[in-house]
């Protein structure tokens, strides 16, 4: 599982119609998002660039992105 940095975890929301929205969310906002997806409706989240309002009934996927990117063939 991806490690969460002090600033938050990057997630990408995919919407009906093909659009996507990359966000950097705190753990509490991420949990709030996941619990709201089942109910649908609007939710207010705080991204690193400011507040975002999302219609959860239009979200078709959520992808989490790891902060750890590795280049090369070794693990160390």
Question: Under 8 Å CB-to-CB from 13, ≥6 apart: which residues?
Answer: 20, 21, 23, 54, 59, 61, 62
Tell me phi and psi for residue 8, to 5 degrees: 135, -175
What pLDDT is recorded for position 8? Answer: 81
Nearest-angstrom CA–CA distance, 42 and 46: 14
Q: Which of 19, 17, 15 is nearest to 55 (CA)?
A: 15
pLDDT in tens, 48-59: 999 999 999 999
Nearest-angstrom CA–CA distance, 52 and 45: 5
Q: Which residue has the higher pLDDT, 18 or 68?
A: 18
| pTM of the model as a whole | 0.74
């Amino acid at each position: 599982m991806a490690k969460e940095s002090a600033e938050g975890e990057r997630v990408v929301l995919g919407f009906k119609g093909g659009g996507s929205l990359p966000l950097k969310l705190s753990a509490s906002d991420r949990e709030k998002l996941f619990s709201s997806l089942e109910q649908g409706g609007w939710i207010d989240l705080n991204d690193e660039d400011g507040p975002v309002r999302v219609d959860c009934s239009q979200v078709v996927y959520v992808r989490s992105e790891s902060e750890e990117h590795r280049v090369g063939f070794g693990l160390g």
